[in-house]
Amino acid sequence: LQTLPPVDLAEKYFQIFPEEMDPLWQNPCHDKRHKDIWSKEKTCDRLPKFLVIGPQKTGTSALHSFLTLHPAITSNFPSPVTFEEIQFFNGPNYHNGIDWYMDFFPFPSNVSTDFTFEKSANYFDTEVVPKRAAALLPRAKIIALLINPVDRAYSWYQHQRAHQDPAAINHTFHEVVTAGLSASKELLTLQSHSLKPGTYATHLEHWLVHYQLHIVDGALLRSNPALVMDGIQRFLGVTPIFNYTQALVFDEGKGFWCQRLEGGRPKCLGKSKGRKYPEMAPETRAFLTEYYREHNLELLRLLNRLGQALPTWLREELQSTS
Ligand code: A3P
């Protein structure tokens, strides 16, 4: 039997098993061998009970803020880099390991009815995320928000304009979504981030391999958040049932539902949520409605298969193309 010093041994090991160089973190307490070497000082429960996975621009910040009004629901500590979002499962942060992730969550209380969660909106359409999430959080509940992908794409474009993305500043939305493969790299990146998350069924199928999802109509969250929040509370099984009709107020100036403070004053999300921008050009809307037709049909079949209600915007989109 031969052996080597630790670093050489690790190098040898990964030469033989290169596929294991990319870790797949699991809960240390789910395997006795791992639990035995996991520090006694640590807990395995400093992990979220549910995830809001996005996609971006569907109302995820509004949902996040409404959830945190609930007395039994707690979000992660905010990340100094990505604002409130941790973005653990989707990118380089994953290689920081489980301790890094757990540090974003409060120590678990003894109350089993307490719910911690995190919202990272680009989890939805990053293919590796469902597998990674399921390895560490096999019992987590998952919430996805869907709005008309045409509007989602336009909202993303406006978001990038507000962030001074040169591709968004120098090109109309129509140019962005219709650009061909010979366009600049910057333009194609913007096009991809505008269009790809909206192919909902493809992304949802990756999640459905590992989880049952609660799929929320983001348009309904916008128009009737109290109704949507009741459905989410039932899905989570969280108690007490919090009365969102009392907790929220519609702000005419903002044009959105906001938190109702003492005395009835509204506390709304900041300027970057619910931006004012011109209507989408009708020819661009028509182009995108056609672009998403097959994807929306896939979504229709998927929702029917799951026995889930169809969002109004999906019915309307499919009617306008049939
Ligand atoms: P726009 O700014 O394009 O209108 P996200 O938080 O996922 O980035 O989504 C932002 C979108 O949430 C906003 O896009 C807005 O339309 C929508 N939204 C839904 N409910 C909202 C609310 N109560 N307050 C602000 N924005 C809300």
Atom of ligand 1 at shortest range from CA of 154: 3
- Indicate if ligand 1 lies below 6 Å from the C-beta of 122: no
pLDDT at 109: 73
CB-CB contact of 114 with 45 (8 Å): no
CB hemisphere CA count around 7 (13 angstroms): 0
The pLDDT value recorded for residue 114 is 86
CA 67 to chain centre: 14
Query: How many whole angstroms from 57 Cα to the centroid of ligand 1?
Result: 6
Q: Does residue 222 have its Cβ closer than 6 Å to ligand 1?
A: yes
**Comparing C-alpha atoms, which of 139, 70, 78, 146 is closest to residue 106?**
78
Query: Which atom of ligand 1 is the closest one to the Cα of 54?
Result: 7
Question: Does the annotation count 141 as an active-site position?
Answer: no
**Residue 257: CB within 6 Å of ligand 1?**
yes
Torsion of CA 306, 308, 314, 315, to 10 degrees: 110
- Say if ligand 1 is within 6 A of residue 275 CB: yes
Residue 321: its pLDDT value, please? Answer: 55
Q: Is the dihedral of CA 159, 160, 162, 163 positive or negative?
A: positive
CB of 55 within 6 A of ligand 1: the answer is: no
- pLDDT tens for each residue of 86-111: 999 999 999 999 999 999 999 877 66
pTM: 0.95
- pLDDT value, residue 79: 85
Q: Which ligand 1 atom is the nearest neighbour of the CA of 155?
A: 3
Tell me the per-residue pLDDT of 64-80, one tens digit each, with 9 for 90 and over. Answer: 999 999 999 999 998 88
Mean pLDDT per 10-residue interval, the chain, length 322 residues: 90 92 92 89 90 97 97 92 89 94 87 86 98 97 98 98 98 98 98 98 98 97 98 96 97 97 96 96 98 98 96 94 53
Give residue 185's pLDDT.
98
Q: Residue 59: exposed, middle, or buried by beta-carbon count in 10 A (0-12, 13-18, 19+)?
A: buried
Residue nearest to atom 15 of ligand 1 (CA): 274
Starting from the edge strand earliest in sequence, which strands make up the sheet with 248-251, in order?
Answer: 248-251, 256-260, 266-267
CA of 70 to the centre of ligand 1 (A): 20
Q: How much is the pLDDT for 112?
A: 67
The answer to whether residues 241 and 233 touch, using CB atoms and an 8 Å cutoff, is: yes
Q: What is the pLDDT of residue 192?
A: 98
Q: Which of 40, 42, 57, 273 is catalytic?
A: 57
Q: What residue owns the CA closest to ligand 1's atom 5?
A: 57
Instruction: Enter the ipTM.
Output: 0.99
**CB-facing half-sphere around the CA of 197: CA atoms within 13 A:** 30
pLDDT at 126: 98
CA end-to-end distance (rounded Å), the chain: 70
